[in-house]
Amino acid sequence: AGRLAGKRALVTAAGQGIGRAAALAMAAEGATVIATDRDAQKVGELGARGIIHQPLDVLDDAAVQRAVKEAGQIDVLFNCAGFVHQNTILTCTDEEWDFGFALNVRAMWKMARAVIPGMVERRHGAIVNMSSACSSVKGAPNRFLYGTTKAAVIGMTKSIATEYVTQGIRCNCLCPGTVDTPSLHDRIADNAAAAGSVEAARAAFVARQAMGRLATAEEIAALVLYLAAPESTFVTGQAIVIDGGWTL
Ligand code: NAD
């Protein structure tokens, strides 16, 4: 059987990191997973694991419409795509601002907007949005645009949850601390010069979690699974922190 047996789940940014781990976790629980990513090659690797995959750039409105139409019934949407800009209120550029909101916020709106009519028809659906502990939950240095966009994700999540609370659709978001994923390695590399070394830059990220370690993508995927599965049917509109004690 499995906790998601008979369910169909669409995942954005499933090519690597948390999206990939969530796609695998949901498939392991019996869901038919449609894994999408801008990077066709990366998401294509999931084909060997028996997962339906297709390229999808969530910034492309027409492609989003098409992908959702082709996917047919969608019981679970995991809106995972997002980018972490490292900037402050003074260094953030107009281009970064527009890109950050387009990817981290607007694309989630467009994805959710595309799947909701089908969910309303079936009076059934779970939308899981990717926020961050760095959002309205907590500030972090050099995360001006990122924290601003991820706070917006929490607001959007509560709005969707409110509109559809009596129609069988739940919407929640998760707020992870620092997770060991490929893009974190890029951020560590970007910070190495300022921190003195790659090791020092990595240690600074590790130190944020009171547990003294990073999360694995699989630990975060377990929460995505919970929010997607029937065991969370009374949970909606929540921003759930999963951060190894960063916000303690
Ligand atoms: P990642 O950043 O390593 O990978 C991101 C994936 O998104 C890549 O496969 C990339 O191809 C894809 N992508 C980028 N732009 C896209 C687009 N326009 N359309 C479709 N796909 C696109 O993965 P990650 O670190 O697991 O991050 C995933 C999400 O989790 C992001 O929203 C991020 O903000 C959030 N998050 C990450 C951490 C962390 O520490 N890694 C912590 C909290 C929240």
List of domains in the chain = 8-177+216-242 (3.40.50.720), 180-214 (no CATH)
- Closest ligand 1 atom to residue 59 Cα is 18
Q: Which pTM was predicted?
A: 0.98
**Residue bearing the CA closest to ligand 1, atom 41:** 179
**Sorting pLDDT into bands at 50, 70 and 90, what band is 92?**
very high
Which of 10, 11, 18 to probe ligand 1 with, by most ligand atoms within 8 A of CB? 18
Cα(125) to ligand 1 centroid in Å equals 23
Please, is 76 exposed, middle or buried when counting C-beta atoms within 10 Å of its C-beta (0-12, 13-18, 19+)?
buried
Pocket lining for ligand 1, CB < 6 angstroms: 12-13, 15-19, 37-39, 42, 56-59, 80-82, 84, 103, 130, 132, 176, 178-179, 181-184, 217
The atom number, within ligand 1, closest to the CA of 178 reads 40
Q: What percent of the chain has pLDDT over 70?
A: 100
Give the active site residues: 146
Structure tokens at 109: 């709106």
Residue 118's pLDDT is 98
At 225-242, the pLDDT tens digits run 999 999 999 999 999 999
What is the arithmetic mean of pLDDT over 94-111? 98
For 120, phi then psi, to 5°, come to: -65, -45
Question: Taking 90 as the threshold, does the pLDDT of residue 1 lie above it?
Answer: no
CA of 200 to the centre of ligand 1 (A): 23
Q: Report d(CA 40, CA 121) in Å as an integer.
A: 31
Q: Best substitution site from 183, 191, 216, 220 to test ligand 1's pocket, by max atoms within 8 Å of Cβ?
A: 183
Other beta carbons less than 10 A from residue 34's beta carbon: 25
Atom of ligand 1 nearest to the CA of 217: 26
User: So what's the ipTM on this one?
Assistant: 0.99
Nearest by Cα to 49 from 15, 72, 77:
15
Total count of residues recorded for the chain: 248
Instruction: Give the Å distance between the CA of 137 and the centre of ligand 1.
Output: 19
- Cβ–Cβ < 8 Å for 52, 32: yes
Residue with tokens 């630990």: 219
Indicate which residue's Cα is closest to atom 5 of ligand 1.
13
Q: Residue 242's pLDDT is what?
A: 98
Contact call for residues 189 and 223 (beta carbons, < 8 A): no
| Type of residue numbered 79 | N
Among 60, 66, 3, CA closest to 34: 66
Cβ neighbours for 108, distance < 8 A, ≥ 6 positions apart: 58, 79, 81, 129, 153, 156
Give the pLDDT mean for 170-198.
Answer: 97
Spacing, Cα 231 to ligand 1 middle (Å): 26
